[in-house]
């Protein structure tokens, strides 16, 4: 897991990814980013590896309230939040949902944070990206860039997309082995898109 937010810089994200590929530890990567970035104090960065090693940084100039919670195989970060209960509620949602797939678990955490007050300025966007270490591509990559209710919108799209995850994996690996998406959806009694009338 790798996130860069709170005045996030896409270049920092790419730099951290490149450093990860060299086998550097999360702590060493944060140290490098700190030395290379004149605005490191504005950033919020989290790195969590499959083996449990992690590093997290919430700069003192990240807009308040900003902070993080770390537990085993989990980091929750946030900024411009109404307060610590947002992250606490997200961490609790993570702990309560061990029996569901990672993508569902993550979305439940985001929904819990929203319901606990979320960001002081309200919602604008939402993204859900999930990788499976068996594949070199994300198995979920959904975005709501601008919406009055982006998390509710994400839930609607995700609920439609979730049954398609195995289909898209197979289509990526071997397009000749799957039916066209519309035919697949019809075969399984699913709507052709999340906005189709039910």
| Percent of the chain topping pLDDT 70 | 99
Residue 16 clears pLDDT 90, i.e. is over it: yes
Residue 198 clears pLDDT 80, i.e. is over it: no
pLDDT of residue 161: 97
| Percent of the chain topping pLDDT 90 | 94
Average pLDDT, rounded, for the chain = 95
124-148 pLDDT tens trace: 999 999 999 999 999 999 999 999 9
Is 89 in contact with 112 (CB distance < 8 Å)? Answer: yes
Helix, strand, or coil (residue 41): helix
pLDDT of residue 74: 95
Single pTM value for the model: 0.93
pLDDT band at 72 (very low <50, low <70, confident <90, very high): confident
CA distance 93 to 135: 27
3-state helix, strand, coil in the chain (%, to 5): 45, 20, 35
47-71 pLDDT tens trace: 999 899 999 999 999 999 999 999 9
């Amino acid at each position: 897991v790798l996130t860069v937010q709170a005045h996030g810089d896409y270049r920092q994200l790419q730099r951290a990814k490149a450093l990860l590929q060299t086998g550097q530890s999360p702590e060493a990567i944060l140290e490098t980013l700190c030395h290379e970035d004149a605005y490191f104090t504005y950033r919020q960065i989290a790195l969590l590896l499959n083996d449990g090693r992690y590093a997290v940084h919430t700069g003192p100039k990240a807009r308040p309230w900003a902070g993080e919670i770390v537990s085993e195989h989990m980091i929750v970060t946030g900024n411009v939040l109404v307060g610590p209960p947002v992250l606490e509620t997200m961490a609790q949602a993570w702990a309560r949902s061990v029996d569901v797939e990672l993508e569902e678990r993550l979305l439940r955490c985001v929904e819990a944070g929203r319901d606990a007050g979320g960001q002081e300025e309200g919602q604008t966007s939402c993204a859900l990206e999930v990788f499976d270490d068996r594949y070199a591509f994300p198995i979920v990559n959904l975005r709501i860039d601008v919406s009055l209710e982006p998390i509710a919108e994400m839930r609607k799209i995700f609920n439609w997309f979730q049954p398609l995850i195995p289909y898209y994996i197979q289509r990526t690996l071997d397009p000749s082995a799957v039916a066209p998406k519309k035919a697949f959806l019809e075969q399984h009694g699913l709507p052709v898109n999340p906005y189709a009338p039910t």
